[in-house]
């Protein structure tokens, strides 16, 4: 589902954010990407979303060769990937239902189908009774659930979660991680960038550790590795 072959990314100052990174993530995997601030995690996510292009190397995501995408196909590619961010990125002037429905309208799903899909997805994330609420009326945990429902309503094969628990308290963090695990069990490939050591160590998934732009560890049932 995700393949990086000898990928490097340097910014204008010449310092490499990623240096000769190779990584393969298979269909149905649940993978944590961990590392300290400045390790290259955010650059990796931006590369996978084609917000950045690598200085060298090749990236293939969901059968899209990202180096060969036209501008028109970039938009189509991004719509095929579910993404959840630390800051939720919800439409503050719309209610919960409209936030999730928006993702369906972008790809021109018929209204009749939207009226079936959105309540089903809100039910999955435990927000069936909140569909009329404005997002600003919700707690942080509830807002992240709305973001998750929006990311999943188009049934993407891959979900990228960039620090999805970064703004949440421990209880809400665990609830979001349980949801991600449930989504993964349904067949979605899940990639989570995080610095939450407790969650990584408890869940015992595949853990890829990045340090100074280089993968230093890739372990099945791994743990958060401290810098020496």
- Model confidence at 228, in pLDDT bands (50, 70, 90)? low
What is the residue extent of each domain of the chain? 90-155
Would you place residue 16 in the very low, low, confident or very high pLDDT band (cuts 50, 70, 90)?
Answer: confident
153-199 pLDDT, tens digit each: 999 999 999 999 988 999 999 999 999 999 999 999 999 999 899 99
Whether the pLDDT of residue 227 is over 70: the answer is: no
Q: Tell me the pLDDT band of 15, cut-offs 50, 70 and 90.
A: confident
Within the chain, residue ranges assigned H as helices are 41-48, 71-79, 96-106, 111-124, 140-152, 170-185, 197-203
Residue 133: CA count within 13 A, CB half-sphere? 15
pLDDT band at 217 (very low <50, low <70, confident <90, very high): very high
* Distance separating alpha carbons of residues 156 and 153, to the nearest angstrom: 8
- CB-based contact 206:31 (threshold 8 Å): yes
pLDDT at 226: 75
- Three-class SS of residue 134? strand
How far apart (Å, rounded) are the C-alpha atoms in residues 71 and 182?
Answer: 34
Q: Model pTM? A: 0.92
CA 140 to chain centre: 17
Element containing residue 17 per DSSP (H, E): strand 16-25
pLDDT at 88 over 90: no
């Amino acid at each position: 589902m995700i393949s990086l072959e000898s990928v490097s990314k340097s910014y204008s100052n010449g310092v490499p954010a990623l240096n000769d990174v190779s990584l393969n993530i298979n269909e149905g995997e649940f993978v944590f990407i961990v590392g300290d601030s400045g390790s290259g995690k955010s650059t990796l996510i931006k590369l996978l979303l084609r917000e950045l292009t690598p200085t060298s190397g090749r990236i293939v995501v969901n059968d899209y060769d990202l180096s060969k995408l036209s501008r028109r196909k970039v938009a189509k590619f991004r719509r095929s990937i579910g993404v959840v961010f630390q800051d939720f990125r919800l439409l503050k002037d719309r209610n919960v239902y409209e936030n999730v429905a928006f993702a369906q309208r972008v790809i021109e799903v018929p209204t009749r189908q939207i009226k079936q899909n959105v309540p089903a997805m809100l039910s999955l994330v435990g927000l069936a009774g909140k569909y009329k609420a404005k997002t600003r009326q919700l707690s942080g945990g509830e807002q992240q659930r709305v973001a998750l429902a929006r990311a999943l309503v188009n049934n993407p094969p891959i979900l990228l979660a960039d620090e999805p628990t970064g703004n949440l308290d421990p209880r809400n963090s665990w609830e979001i991680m349980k949801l991600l695990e449930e989504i993964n069990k349904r067949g979605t490939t899940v990639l989570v960038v995080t610095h939450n050591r407790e969650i990584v160590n408890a869940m015992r998934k595949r853990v890829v550790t990045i340090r100074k732009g280089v993968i230093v560890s890739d372990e099945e049932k791994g743990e958060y590795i401290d810098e020496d």
